[in-house]
Amino acid sequence: HAAWGFVRGVRHKPRANASPGLAKPSGMSDPAWHAGYALLQQYQLHFELQTPWWHLSEAAQLARTFPDTMMVLNHTGLPADRSVAGLRAWSQAMNHIAQCPNVVVKISGLGQAGVAWNVASNRSIVLTAIALFGVERCMFASNFPVDSLCGSFSTIFSGFDLITEDFSQSERLALFRENAIRLYRMEQSA
């Protein structure tokens, strides 16, 4: 895949536990999986991780073991449990992995089954992710067509726009465009 000029990384959902109460490690702890992960740096590829927040301590260990490989955490660490306790646990896990300078986060995939996407239920998640990782290590992304089950593309991105309306113009440009161009090594068009 690395031979193709447009390939930038490998996306994977390692084996994960269905809930945070289970102690079994995810696929990220498997030595054979680590051997494959080690090849990413050799081929100048980054890793796109989708895993629930309760496996982020393993992801942080992976990021520390391979500090020269960039990890992109997809879907904001999957904060599906919107209870006070659930969001507190998600925030603590996000804080832990945010300490790894080679990890960035895609703010995306915030849809909830059976709930229309809205600013009120997503504002604190978006702002917490940005506060933990900093503007330079965050980017907005879509999760389409999956998120079309809870909102239109316009609804979601106008929501991100509204949530960040008090940010500076350069911060908003970084979140909506420049970070993705830099992290995915895209050529800028005029």
Q: What is the DSSP letter of 80?
A: -
Q: What is the DSSP letter of 83?
A: S
- Please compute the mean of the pLDDT values over residues 20-44 and round it to a whole number: 85
Kindly report the number of other CB atoms within 10 A of residue 109's CB atom: 18
In this prediction, residue 61 has a pLDDT band, given cuts at 50, 70 and 90, of very high
User: Which pLDDT score, from 0 to 100, does residue 84 have?
Assistant: 96
User: Is the pLDDT at 190 greater than 70, yes or no?
Assistant: no
* Strand partners for 46: 9
Nearest to 52 by CA among 27, 81, 78: 78
Amino acid at 77: G
Which segments of the chain are extended strands (E)?
9-12, 46-49, 71-73, 103-107, 138-140
- Please compute the mean of the pLDDT values over residues 49-76 and round it to a whole number: 95
Question: Which tens digit of pLDDT belongs to each residue from 119-164?
Answer: 999 999 999 999 999 999 999 998 889 999 999 999 999 999 999 9
What's the pTM value of the predicted model, to 2 decimals?
A: 0.93
Amino acid at 72: V
CB 104 within 8 A of CB 137: yes
Which comes out higher in pLDDT, residue 87 or 7? 87
Average per-residue pLDDT for the chain: 92
Question: What percentage of the chain reaches a pLDDT higher than 90?
Answer: 74
